[in-house]
Chain A
Amino acid sequence: MKVLVVEDDTITRFMMTEMCDELGYSADTAANGKQCLDLIEKDPSAFDVILMDIHMPEMSGLDVSNEIREAESDPPKNLPIFAVTADEAWHDEKRCKSVGFTGVIPKPVSISALTDVLDAYSS
């Protein structure tokens, strides 16, 4: 299984890939929304789960997610995209689902929260 970590902060990006590594999943990274979209455009089936930071400069995580959903709309693929954010307003599963996310992982990211999400898609 392949995970894509979209995160503008270098150290956080490093920490996230290390956590995925620790849990036995290999992760690619994108430092901003444009990189993320380019990677997916190159190979739409390259990733099984996307961990999407919300607060990023230029393109927010929500914008990127919306573009991915639009691109995969025909046929609908429903790539799992998880919002990763410290903003408490986003720590609401219902709200995240209503705007196209699969779920939410609150920051600070704990290994147990990440395990729950990744294990659910590893099979």
Chain B
Amino acid sequence: MVLSSAVLSTVAAGIQLYYSYQRDSSEVLQTFGVVDQSFRDSLERAVWQFNFPQVESILEGIVANPNVSGVSLVSSTGQTWQRGQSPGDMDEFSRPFQLTYRGSSGPQQIVGELRVSLTLDDVRDRLWAQFWTMFLSNVAKTLVASLVMMLLFYLLVARHLRTTARYVARTDWIRSGRALALDRRSANEPDDLDNVVTAINHARGKVLQSVSGLEREIDVRRQAEQEATRASEAKSAFLATMSHEVRTPINAIMGLLELIERADIPARQRRQAKAGRSSAEALLYQLTNVLEVSRLEAHAINLLIEPVNMNEFVEELRALLEGVIARSEKPIAGAVLSRLKSTEDMNLDRRRLLEIVSNLIDNAVRFTEQGRIDVNLDIMGPVDDAIIMVQVQDTGIGIAEDHLERIFDRFAQVENPLTRKMGGSGLGLAISRGLAQLMGGDLRVESCVGQGSRFTLTIPATRETIEEKSRESSSS
């Protein structure tokens, strides 16, 4: 703003200077008239009379005019004079004067030619001085005006903007109990600053409103969460009690039936006792499965991760597989193939992993009449981010493609008269997959009806590091 006012005043001054230049230069041109009127007659006379000192003094007189830069005179008798600069080409500022003389008698005669050159130097000097005076006074005026305006701007606007900015920048401005108010007289009509303040306070009100709404919402949800947690804990506690209270009598039944079997009783009663014990055993198995599913759902299963020697683990799997196959009394060959290269320990829940693989082996044997069951064990990936892969492959009846994912559903045993005949609650695979996922891994299946199935279990695990090992051994 200050700058544009300076530019405007400079342009105005320029225009003023231009007109002043026009005026002054026309004044200069009038010098020709002055020379013509004041000096011509006396000069003509002096030349006619050959009064050369007179001629020279008159020329000096002409040159003395500040507007005249030079003058030259050529007389008809051949004498020449020159004072000041030599007059150049004849133009607007250089003019020839014919000098004539009429004696007391006789015709008018040409006595010579006077050339006069004018100069604008003087005018220009004056104009420059005028220009500088104007320019400097303009600059001074502009400076003063801008200082005054800056001060006014600060007092009327800037300091209020600064207060507003500080208010909004404070992190607690919404929660602090104070609305924004500026230290200024309020006019009758609200101005732009008042509008800004009103808008900020309005926004603050809106935010406060939604914040308190959100806080209420959070309270409600927190309460719901606490209730859910309490319910979940109650469920877990109930399940633990159930587990103990229901299993205790079943365990007693099984022990007592086993005692009866050993007694000196007829073979028929022994068979009956044995059947009763199998039945109790089946009941216990189902109960354990149901409880396991419930615990998985309630996230009530705590993993026990510990360093596991993988070579020992492979041996356990081998014993397990051989045991299950032997008990089935089916013509099945079994082998555990381990591709482990190192003997390092892996950090994992040995008992749970064994539970899953044991379940897979049980299934494989249950659904395979003859052929072979292979368990493959491999560890993939880097040391600190390895994946244990266990595959259980059988040559059993296989699973139809549209049933492949359903076998992992709880209670959904694949509709197959053969499987129903073979028993099972259908919980085993659901539990196995649930446990695998609890350990951060997964359980998948590929199958071909009539040719067999392959279950692939993947569990992420870290290797026991050497540092941990040495620390443990030094502490023990």
- Taking Cβ atoms with an 8 Å cutoff, the residues of A that contact B are 9, 11-12, 14-16, 18-19, 22, 55, 86, 88-89, 92, 107-111
Closest 7 CB pairs of A and B: A108-B251, A15-B255, A108-B254, A11-B252, A107-B251, A12-B252, A15-B252
How far, in Å, is A28 (CB) from chain B's closest CB? 18
Complex: how many Å from CA A16 to CA B251? 11
A86 touches B244 (CB 8 A): yes
CB < 8 Å: which of A14, A19, A55, A108 contacts B244? A55
Complex: how many Å from CA A15 to CA B252? 6
**Nearest opposing residue in chain B for A89, CB measure:** B304
Interface-central residue, B248, B249, B259, B304, by most chain A CB under 10 Å: B248
B244 touches A15 (CB 8 A): no
Q: Would A86 and B351 be within 8 Å (CB), given that A15-B259, A111-B262 are in contact?
A: no
B contact residues around A111 at 8 Å (CB)? 255, 258-259, 262
Q: List 29 A-B contacts (CB under 8 A).
A: A9-B249, A9-B252, A11-B252, A11-B256, A12-B248, A12-B255, A14-B252, A15-B252, A15-B255, A15-B256, A15-B259, A16-B255, A19-B255, A55-B244, A86-B244, A88-B351, A89-B304, A92-B351, A107-B247, A107-B251, A108-B250, A108-B251, A108-B254, A108-B255, A108-B281, A109-B251, A109-B255, A110-B255, A110-B258
B contact residues around A109 at 8 Å (CB)? 251, 255
Interface-central residue, B254, B255, B304, B351, by most chain A CB under 10 Å: B255
Complex: how many Å from CA A110 to CA B257? 10
Q: Please report whether the interface of chain A is mostly helix, strand, loop or mixed according to DSSP.
A: helix
**Nearest opposing residue in chain A for B251, CB measure:** A108
Complex: how many Å from CA A82 to CA B436? 33
Complex: how many Å from CA A107 to CA B258? 13
A18 touches B256 (CB 8 A): yes
CB < 8 Å: which of B243, B248, B259 contacts A19? B259
Complex: how many Å from CA A54 to CA B117? 135
B259 touches A9 (CB 8 A): no
Complex: how many Å from CA A55 to CA B248? 10
Q: Please report whether the interface of chain B is mostly helix, strand, loop or mixed according to DSSP.
A: helix
Complex: how many Å from CA A72 to CA B149? 99
Interface string of B278-315 (1 = CB under 8 A from A): 00010010000000000000000000100000000000
B contact residues around A107 at 8 Å (CB)? 247, 251
**Nearest opposing residue in chain A for B263, CB measure:** A22
B contact residues around A55 at 8 Å (CB)? 244
Complex: how many Å from CA A11 to CA B247? 12
Which chain B residues numbered 345 to 363 have a C-beta less than 8 Å away from chain A? Answer: 351
A contact residues around B254 at 8 Å (CB)? 108
Complex: how many Å from CA A83 to CA B222? 43
9 further A-B pairs in the complex, CB-CB below 8 A; given A11-B252, A12-B251, A92-B351: A9-B252, A12-B248, A16-B255, A86-B247, A89-B304, A108-B254, A108-B284, A110-B255, A111-B259
Complex: how many Å from CA A109 to CA B253? 10
